[in-house]
Amino acid sequence: MNTRFSLQQVIVVSLFTFIVGCIAGAIVMGIAMMRSPYVVKATVAAEYTPTHSPTVLEPTPAVLDEPPTSTPSNTPAVTTSIEPTIQPTFTSTREHSTTATSTLPPLPKARTATPTLSTPVTITVTDEEATSLAQEEADQAGPDELAIQDPVVSITEQYLELTGRAVNLGLFGSGDLRVVGVPVVEDEELRFRVMTATVNNVDLPRSLFPDIESTVDRVLARSLFGYDARDVILGDGVMTLVVLPWP
C-alpha cells in the first residue's frame, strides 16, 4: 500500500512534536528547579549548624572579664586609707622599744681573770718540817699506792735526800729506799727530779722514777698550799722558797 504524506501534513506533525517536546522539557526543568532549593538548604543547614555552635559560645567569657573598670577609681582611696594606719603603729613600736631599753638595769662590768699582783715572799722549810710533811703523806697513802714509811728528809746545798722503807714498789716489792734528787719550779709548782734511787742498795730502773717523783711532789705541795712557786734555793739543812700568795 503506498501511503504518501503531503507537505502540509509533515509540517503539522513536526510542529506538534516540537511543541510536545518543549512542554515536556519545561515540565522536567520546573520539577528540577522546585526540588533543588530544598536540597541546597538541607546541605547548608547540615554543614552550618556545627560550625556556628562553638563560635557563639566563645565570646561569653571574654565579655565577663571586662567589669573590673571600676578598680582604678578605688585605688587612690585604698592607698590613702592605709598610710595613716601604718605610720602610728611604727611610731608607737619605736617608742615602746626605746622606753623598754631605757628601763633595763645596767650590765655588770666584766670580771677580769688576771689575778691581783702581790709582793713575793719567802718560805723556809727545814729538815724536820720536810720529814713531818713526808710522814703525813705516808699516812694518807692508799693500799695500792707507793708509800715511804718512816721517812727522813735531809737537805743539803746540792740536793735533797729521802730515806725510808718503800712499800708497793713494783717488782721490787718493798725494802729500804734511798732517793737523791733536786727540787725545781715548773708552771708555778714545786717538782722533784730523781737523780739516783736504790732499794736495799740495788739501783732502781729509771722506769720507776716517775712513781717516786709523784710521791715526793705531793710532799712538796703540802709546803706550798696557798702559794705559787717562783724559785727554790737549797741550803745546809734548809730549803728557801720564793712564792706569791694566792689572791
Give residue for cell 706550798.
224
Inform me whether the pLDDT recorded for 71 exceeds 60.
no
For residues 127 and 111, the model is more confident at 127
Section 225-241 average pLDDT: 96
Contact by Cβ (8 Å): 224, 241: yes
Q: How far is residue 134's CA from residue 233's CA, in Å, rounded to a whole number? A: 19
Q: What is the mean pLDDT of residues 107-117?
A: 46
- Predicted confidence at residue 90, as pLDDT, reads 44
d(CA 105, CA 219): 50
pLDDT band, very low/low/confident/very high, at 74 (cuts 50, 70, 90): very low
**Is the model's pLDDT at 17 over the cut of 50?**
yes
Q: How far apart are CA 240 and CA 61, in angstroms?
A: 108
Instruction: Summarize the confidence of residues 39-62 as an average pLDDT.
Output: 45
Half-sphere exposure in the Cβ direction for 133 (13 Å, CA): 20
Which has the closest alpha carbon to 217: 183, 177, 179, 175?
Answer: 183
Burial of 239 (0-12, 13-18, 19+ CB in 10 A): buried
What is the per-residue pLDDT for 22?
A: 81
Cell of 242: 720564793
At residue 117, the pLDDT reads 60
Report residue 123's pLDDT band, with 50, 70 and 90 as the boundaries.
very high
Nearest one of 206, 207, 185 to 196, comparing CA atoms: 206
Q: What is the pLDDT of residues 192-226, one digit of tens each?
A: 999 999 999 999 999 999 999 999 999 999 989 89
Rounded distance, CA 79 to CA 85, Å? Answer: 11
pLDDT in tens, 146-201: 999 999 999 999 999 999 999 998 888 899 999 999 999 999 999 999 999 999 99
The Cα 73–Cα 67 span in angstroms is 13
Residue 115 has pLDDT above 90, yes or no: no
CA 48 vs. chain centroid, Å, equals 72
Q: Is 129 exposed, middle or buried (0-12, 13-18, 19+ CB in 10 A)?
A: middle
Q: What is the pLDDT of residues 89-101, one digit of tens each?
A: 444 444 444 444 4
> Residue 199, SS3?
strand
Residues paired with 164 in a beta bridge = 177
The span from the CA of 133 to the CA of 221, in Å, is 9
Contact call for residues 159 and 195 (beta carbons, < 8 A): yes
What digits encode the pLDDT tens for the residues 77-86?
Answer: 444 444 444 4
Is the per-residue pLDDT at 39 higher than 80? no
The whole-angstrom separation of Cα 168 and Cα 141 is 11
In this prediction, residue 132 carries a pLDDT of 97
